[in-house]
């Protein structure tokens, strides 16, 4: 199984066994813009291990990271699998996760929403570590 991410100007994926780390950067993100993480095709069960996001440019003052198993899902919906805390843009969001286990969509994708509170011009660096179980 492999992983990839889309929606960014730079993206890569490394793996050790069943643990994958998707890294890269994205630009022009608004409040509900999703980053797609592809686990390699077909429904997969993932265990999220760590979520790191750093806002690098834009007009937002804070951001609230979320993970979904459905593209375009809404905050607070059954498809929201993880919600981080509101984070000041000068701060690195870095959370080691426990118990964030869910199934991807039928294409093997899950979605990261950085969740800036303002603007559509925000840029983020990301590093998402997950295990395919």
114 closest CA partner among 90, 83, 91, 73? 83
Q: What pLDDT was estimated at residue 16?
A: 78
pTM of the model: 0.90
> Is residue 34 pLDDT above 80, yes or no?
yes
How many domains would you assign to the chain? 1
3-state secondary structure 50-103: EEEEEEEECCCCEECCEEECCCCCCCCCCCEEEECCCEECCCCEEEECCCCEEE
11 neighbors 24 (Cβ within 8 angstroms): yes
Domain of residue 64, CATH code: 2.60.120
Is residue 8 predicted with pLDDT exceeding 60?
Answer: no
Q: What pLDDT was estimated at residue 80?
A: 98
Q: How far is CA 2 from CA 8, 72, 92, in A?
A: 18, 23, 27
For residue 51, the cross-strand partners are: 95, 128
The model's pLDDT over 35-80, given as tens digits with 9 standing for 90+, comes to: 999 998 899 999 999 999 999 999 999 999 999 999 999 999 999 9
Condensed to tens digits (0 to 9), the pLDDT of residues 111-126 reads: 999 999 999 999 999 9
Residues with Cβ within 8 Å of 52's Cβ and at least 6 positions away in sequence, in order, are 92, 93, 94, 95, 126, 127, 128
| Longest pairwise C-alpha distance within the chain | 39
Please check whether residue 128 is in contact with residue 54, taking contact to mean a CB–CB distance below 8 angstroms: no
Domain that holds residue 106: 4-132
């Amino acid at each position: 199984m492999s992983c990839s991410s889309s929606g960014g100007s730079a993206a890569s994926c490394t793996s050790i066994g069943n643990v994958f780390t998707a890294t890269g950067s994205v630009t022009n993100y608004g409040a509900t813009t999703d980053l797609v993480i592809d686990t390699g095709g077909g429904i997969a069960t993932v265990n999220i291990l760590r979520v790191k996001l750093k806002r690098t440019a834009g007009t937002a003052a804070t951001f609230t990271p979320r993970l979904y198993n459905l593209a375009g899902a809404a905050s607070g919906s059954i498809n929201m699998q993880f919600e981080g805390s509101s984070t000041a843009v000068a701060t690195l969001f870095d959370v080691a996760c426990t118990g964030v286990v869910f199934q991807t969509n039928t294409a093997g994708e899950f979605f990261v929403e950085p969740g800036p509170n303002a603007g559509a011009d925000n840029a983020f660096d990301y590093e998402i570590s997950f295990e395919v179980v």
